[in-house]
Each structure stands twice: as structure tokens, then as C-alpha cells.
Chain A
Amino acid sequence: MKVINLLYIIALTLLVNFNGNAQNLLDKLNKEFSKEPVNEIATFKTTRIGLSHSIETRKKGALEISMYNRYWNRKQGTTQSFLADEVNIRFGLDYAFSDNFTVGLGHSINDKITDGFVKYKFLRQKKNSKKKPFSMAFFQEVSYRDNNPNSGSYSFYNNNSSNSSSIYSFTSQLLIARKFNSKFSMQVSPTFITRNKDFANDQSRSQFAMGFGARYKVGGHVSIVSEYYSVFNPLKLTKTYNPFMLGVNWEVSNLLLQFQMTNARNFAKDIFITQTTNNFNFHDGNFHFGFNATFVLQTNKNKL
């Protein structure tokens, strides 16, 4: 009996020792790491995919100073300007009040539209987890412009019915994005647009659209992006086209540059989604070259 006990104890001792020694030190350390799934970062690198917003919000205290440009040639008439006949520039400021909440303001000079937005990211995709496969954000934009006969969008509206010359448009979006792998991310954005004015020849003032966006990372700092909006109830007054964009995003330290080919010339969402009157091709008047520059200024710094 004693011998059996002794053998048993020796065997146990050896077994424990063996276990302890056979284990590589690094394997042992690997077990110490937390198993909690972590948040996916950088589904997109920029807060705009190209035309419209991505799921991304900047970290608390980040101030984005942006200048978005669209260049295009006139369809007819004099085309004597250097490089491009027309340009629309939007100057913008975005501030991140928290890691998930951003407020922004902007004004574009060609169409004279002022816009403001809030974006709140309420769900973050978890890495290697089936529980939270998406990131989601709510986006709300308000745009304002004077509806005088000289402005481009005057003809769209029923100008007899209301004395108000101001148009306020409201764009609500739910942004749903998933980072499929380190290179490929995709976003769908159900969109609802409404205004304070009816359309001409049409009693409605609200429209529904679905946005699709994607990025493919081709290098550490460069990705190819594309975006498209499908409008479910387009204007009846004139033929409108769905906006499309194909572009390259490039980050250089604090500076984020976006180069794009598109048919959208406005920056306010309600306009370019529903009132783009030119198709996407390379003819004058249809082809727009877009160049967006965004500088990220970190107003607060982490303590190390």
C-alpha cells in the first residue's frame, strides 16, 4: 500500500513538474492576456468616406479643419478659365466633444449653403467577436440656404406656396459599417431627407435614399474608396442622377487628403443626394474632380 502511495505521489510530482517545464514561457504569458474582445479601430481612416460621412468619429478634443473642393467645366458657354471653369469650396470645422460625439459646421462658397451636423457613434464593432459585428452611428445634418432666383436650386421648389425664401433641409442617417478585415470595410447608410418647402409639381418634401460606401487599403497610408447613393423616390420635376464617387484617400501624418472623381458638386447631403442633375461620366459639366484636405489638430494630449 505504501509503495503504491509513494509511486502515485512520485508520478504526480513528475507530472506537475513536466507540465510546468514543457510549457514555453511565451505560451504561459499568452494565457495571461485578457480574453475580452477589443473594439475594432479605423474601420475607415477618415470621418468622410468621400462624399459623405463614415462611421468614424475622432477622439475627444480633436479639431478637424477642412477644405473640400470640387472642380468642373461648364457644359456650354465660355470655358476659358485656367484648369476648371467652376469651383465649389466648403470650409469646415469639426470638433469631437467625446470619443463618440462630434459636432461640425461648414459653409460652401459656390452654392452658398451653410450646414451643421451632429454625429453620435453608439455601437462599436468588436474584434473577433460575433456579438457586435457592426459599428453604428447616428448622423443628423441641417443645411440652410437662401432660395433666391439666382441660386441653383431655386427651380426645384414650389416658390408660390410659401413666402419664406429660406430653405432648411434636414438629413438623417443611420450609418452601419463593418470592417471585414484589415483592408476592406463597407458601410450602408439608410437616409431620410426632408425640407421646409414642397417641391414644384409635387406635393412631397421628403425623400428616402440608401448610401453604400467601401474602402480598400492598398498600402499603409493609401486606400481606394467609393461611394454611391440610391434615391428611392427621386424628384418628378427633372431628371436627377444618383451620386457616385471613386477616389483615393491618403494620410500624411496630421493631414488627410482625398482625391476623387464624382458627379456631385455640392457638399450638403440633401442637395447632392437628391438634386444632382448630371450623370457620372467624363464629359464637360458631368465630370467633377474633388480634392478634400483635412487637418487634424489635437487640442488635448494624453498623459503618458
Chain B
Amino acid sequence: MNKPLLFLILSFFVIGNIIGQQYIARQGQVTFFSYASVENIEAKNNQALSILDLEKKEMAVSMLMRAFVFKKDLMHEHFNESYIESDLFPKATFEGNFNDIENSLNQAHVMKGKITIHGITKNIDIKTTVKKVKQNYAISGEFNLTVKDFNIKIPPILSNNIAKVVLVKFKFQYLDYESN
């Protein structure tokens, strides 16, 4: 075997190894719940995207607000048109850093990061649990968001219809970035 070929194989191995540190979730589930005295509202997004970089210990999430499905279709329209203004702010994103994943598998730990909704970025600590199933990672967790923090206005007449604090749950199942 000549040396250039060896190097070529070696370099591919190196590249593969580095990119292999990244995992992607294409059908992440994000659900939010608003419990208020007049009505409970629940919406689910099954198309949230997330990427996990083990080398840099970073995680990112991005999703389209329009992809949230509500039980009632009129709520979907109100959510996009009147509250979240998805014409102007189509996406919600999250960027976070985690500690060593391998040592904290299957136990809750806090991920620090920045969340952007409705064009407003806030620092946030999210309680997450990382699981590893056959070399693939799954991350789940939940957190609370205060609607007011993101400049989402609820008219006083509807203050009993929409909770001031909304519970968000998420679940991402990652696959190797290259292999799919």
C-alpha cells in the first residue's frame, strides 16, 4: 500500500470522526400547555429540528411556529396571527451548552442556554435528561416560560383564557448527522 492512499484513508477517518460527533433530530416533539381558568390550551410541534455536537458540548434547536398543531384550528390562526406573529418571527430557537453527557446519562441535569421566541432572546436554565439507546442519544425535558417576557401581549379581556406561565415539554431523538 502506498503512502498517499494510506493518508487519504486516514484523513477520511479523521473527517468522519469529527463530523460523527454531531447528531441530528428531525422530528423533535415540542409541546406547550397553557392552563387557565377558562380553558386549557395544548399545542404540539412534531417537526422541531435539533442538533447535538458532542465535541463542542453544544446543542441547538430550531422550529417553525406555524408547525404547532392545536386541537382547535381557530387557535392556530390566533396563535400565529395575534400572539406569536409568525409572519414576522417565523422561528423559535435555542442554543445551549451541556456538561459531559456520558457521565450524566439517565439523570437530570441543568442545561444553560439562550432561547429566542417572538424575536426576544432570554437566558434560560433547562432541566434535561439525556438517554443513550444503541449509540443514539435522546434528550427530553421541560421548562416554564413567562409569556410576558417575550413581549407577547394578551388583551386584558382574555387574561383568564391564557396562562401567564406556559409549560413547555420537549423530546428529541438524535441520529448520526452523516448516516441519514
Contacts and interface: CB of A to CB of B under 8 A. Distances in A.
Interface stretch (A67-75, A194-202, A296-304): A296-304
A281 interface: no
B104 to A, nearest CB: 20
B19 A25 contact: no
Given A9-B4, A26-B95, A38-B66, A45 B77 contact: yes
A26 B93 contact: yes
B163 interface: no
Contacts of B58: 25
B71 interface: yes
Interface size class for chain B?
Answer: 35 or more
Contacts of B71: 298, 301-302, 304
B155 A25 contact: no
Max chain A Cβ within 10 angstroms of own Cβ: one of B31, B42, B72: B72
A42 interface: yes
A130 interface: no
Contact of A252 (B19, B72, B158): B158
Nearest to B21: A20
A13 B11 CA distance: 6
Q: Most chain-A Cβ atoms within 10 A of its Cβ — which of B51, B64, B74, B88?
A: B74
A6 B69 contact: no
Interface string B13-34: 0110011000010100001000
Interface SS of chain B: mixed
A26 B59 CA distance: 9
Given A6-B3, A29-B62, A220-B81, 8 more contacts: A13-B11, A24-B60, A30-B62, A33-B49, A296-B74, A298-B71, A304-B31, A304-B42
A251 B31 contact: no
A25 B78 CA distance: 31
Contacts of A6: 3-4, 7
A48 interface: no
Contacts of B77: 41-42, 45
A278 to B, nearest CB: 35
Contact of A42 (B4, B64, B80, B157): B80
A39 B103 CA distance: 46
A150 interface: no
A68 B168 CA distance: 40
Contact of B72 (A33, A182, A251, A301): A301
A220 B153 contact: yes
B13 to A, nearest CB: 10
Interface of A: 2, 5-6, 9-10, 12-13, 16-17, 20, 24-26, 28-30, 32-33, 38, 41-42, 45, 58-62, 181-182, 220-221, 251-254, 296, 298, 301-302, 304
6 contacts: A25-B53, A25-B58, A25-B95, A59-B73, A181-B87, A220-B83
Contacts of A42: 77, 80-81
Given A16-B15, A253-B78, A25 B4 contact: no
Contact of A33 (B8, B24, B51, B64): B64
A301 B74 CA distance: 11
A298 B72 contact: yes
A245 to B, nearest CB: 22
Nearest to A16: B15
A38 B51 CA distance: 24
B49 A302 contact: no
Contact of A302 (B26, B59, B70): B70
